[in-house]
Amino acid sequence: MLNFIYYPVSFILWAWHKVFGAVLGADNGIAWALSVVFLVFTLRAILYKPFVSQVRSMRKMQEFQPEIAKLRKKYGNDRQKQAEEMQKLQKEHGVNPLAGCLPVLVQVPVFIGLFQVLRNFTLYNGDGSLRTENYFFGQEEVNSFLRADFLGAKLGNWPLQEWNAPGTLETAGTSLVQMLVVMIPLMIMAGIFTHITARHSVARQTAAQGENPQTAIMNKLMLYVFPIGVVVGAPFLPLAVLLYWVSNNLWTLGQQYVVYRRIDVEETAKREQAVVERTARAPKPGQKPVRPETAAVEAPEKTPGAKPVLRKQAAAGKGGAANGATAGSSNGNGSANGSANGSSATNGSSAANGSSAANGSSAANGSTANGSTANGSTAGASSPGAAARRGGGGSRPPARRNRKRR
């Protein structure tokens, strides 16, 4: 049913065995062991870019972790709305959570495929008939695998076979002691590498992620439970699968070191570049700061033939005109009062002696005197205009002279 997984896995293993078998010999156990190891390396090389994308996605999610916490707090009672807002936030930052799961999801079928291929390296089928092929391997290559041994242990066997069916390991050409001598160091190495790999992943987490109870539980599982599970579960697996696990963890450890160091260098370069740009945009001492997002407003260009814009009158001109008008009005009031006095004098002269011409002349003199007052008011009224002209202003522009036509 899973032949679409078994055949590609068996083909990669077959190809590498052809390479190492040509150098070390087809029945050499080290050639078969190296074939399993390079099967892992081939798969992990294919998944290198998805792994880098996974690390970058994790870094971006760490950057907007406070926004995720706000969404969880805001939509704590509405799971559907919270999921929708989370998807929008991840889309805005260009993060795809499924891309981070791709390396793990691909390795699981390969692990199952390798386990199935190794189980079928037997002389007989399940119904007792002679086995002639094992997916991409022919009968001769199956027999070559059965004849090969890795430091005295068989790659397709495991220690607990002797517990379930005594004599199985002797029939295969090995013993329980030989199997344990090879597998115990590999079991310890697999547990140590699993622990170190998990520790590197936990060290990249932020303080906020470490304070999360669920994350803390997962960290403990990765650091302690999984390595112990590898050590305990190794006797139930064929020796070739244990080699697969050790080489996979070794590759992951080296790949994490290279990728994390590369990303750290990139982020350090970005921070330094940001500091340089911020320093370049910083104003000099005494200079007004200019924000980069504010565009400079250019002065409008003068168009030839355009009407000139008149400037507003100076405040001094306005003040001089006001003072002149005030003086003129006050002088006018004085002249009016003088004329009134003159008329009263005339009436007085008539009342005193209607035939007296001298009194009338006195009235006339009084009117003359008042006339002089009127003249003074006229002079006073003319002074504001002069003051306004001196101030540079005026209520009316000078009249234009009509040019005579020739």
> For the segment 40-50, what is each residue's pLDDT rounded down to a tens digit?
999 889 888 88
Residues 190 and 104 in one domain: no
Which band of pLDDT confidence, cut at 50, 70 and 90, is reported for residue 403?
A: low
Average pLDDT of the segment spanning 199-224 = 80
Domain membership flag for residue 380: no
* pLDDT of 399: 59
Give the rounded percent of residues in the chain with a pLDDT score beyond 70. 67
**Helices 29-46 & 239-281 angle (0-180, nearest 10):** 30
* pLDDT of 80: 84
Tens digit of pLDDT for each residue in 227-283? 999 899 988 889 999 999 999 999 988 998 888 888 888 888 888 888 888 888 777
Average pLDDT of the segment spanning 117-131 = 82
* pLDDT of 145: 92
284 compared with 315, residue with greater pLDDT: 284
Residues 60 and 194 in one domain: no
- Mean pLDDT: which of 9-23, 164-178, 366-380 is highest? 9-23
pLDDT at 349 over 70: no
Could you give the number of structural domains in the chain? 2
* pLDDT of 41: 94
E strand residue ranges, 121-258 = 133-134, 137-138
Domain membership flag for residue 59: yes
210 compared with 114, residue with greater pLDDT: 114
Domain membership flag for residue 116: yes
Q: Select from 244, 268, 292 the last residue of a domain.
A: 268
* pLDDT of 405: 60
Backbone angles phi, psi at 405, to 5 degrees: -80, 135
81 compared with 388, residue with greater pLDDT: 81
pLDDT at 346 over 50: no
* pLDDT of 218: 86
Residues 24 and 141 in one domain: yes
Average pLDDT of the segment spanning 178-201 = 91
- Residues in contact with 176: Cβ distance below 8 Å, sequence separation at least 6, in sequence order: 159, 162, 169
Which band of pLDDT confidence, cut at 50, 70 and 90, is reported for residue 188?
A: very high
Residues 71 and 125 in one domain: yes
pLDDT at 85 over 70: yes
- Residues in contact with 2: Cβ distance below 8 Å, sequence separation at least 6, in sequence order: 109, 112, 113, 116
* pLDDT of 292: 56
97 compared with 221, residue with greater pLDDT: 221
Domain membership flag for residue 133: yes
Average pLDDT of the segment spanning 356-375 = 36
Domain membership flag for residue 384: no
Domain membership flag for residue 125: yes
Residues 221 and 259 in one domain: yes
Residues 13 and 137 in one domain: yes
Residues 15 and 133 in one domain: yes
Residues 5 and 128 in one domain: yes
For the purposes of burial, counting CB atoms within 10 Å of the CB of 159, is it exposed (0-12), middle (13-18) or buried (19 or more)?
buried
Average pLDDT of the segment spanning 318-341 = 38
Beta bridge partners of 137: 134
Domain membership flag for residue 294: no
300 compared with 154, residue with greater pLDDT: 154
* pLDDT of 186: 92
Residues 139 and 218 in one domain: no
Residues 164 and 64 in one domain: no
Average pLDDT of the segment spanning 383-388 = 46
Range of the domain at 121: 1-148
pLDDT at 328 over 80: no
Residues 201 and 143 in one domain: no
Domain membership flag for residue 95: yes
Return the minimum-mean-pLDDT range out of 126-135, 222-231, 380-389: 380-389
pLDDT at 361 over 60: no
Q: What is the DSSP letter of 153?
A: B
Residues 129 and 180 in one domain: no
> Would you say 15 and 136 are in contact if contact means Cβ atoms under 8 Å apart?
no
Which band of pLDDT confidence, cut at 50, 70 and 90, is reported for residue 404?
A: low
Q: Select from 148, 179, 198 the last residue of a domain.
A: 148
pLDDT at 22 over 80: yes
For the purposes of burial, counting CB atoms within 10 Å of the CB of 62, is it exposed (0-12), middle (13-18) or buried (19 or more)?
middle
Q: Select from 115, 130, 148 the last residue of a domain.
A: 148
Average pLDDT of the segment spanning 299-327 = 51
393 compared with 230, residue with greater pLDDT: 230
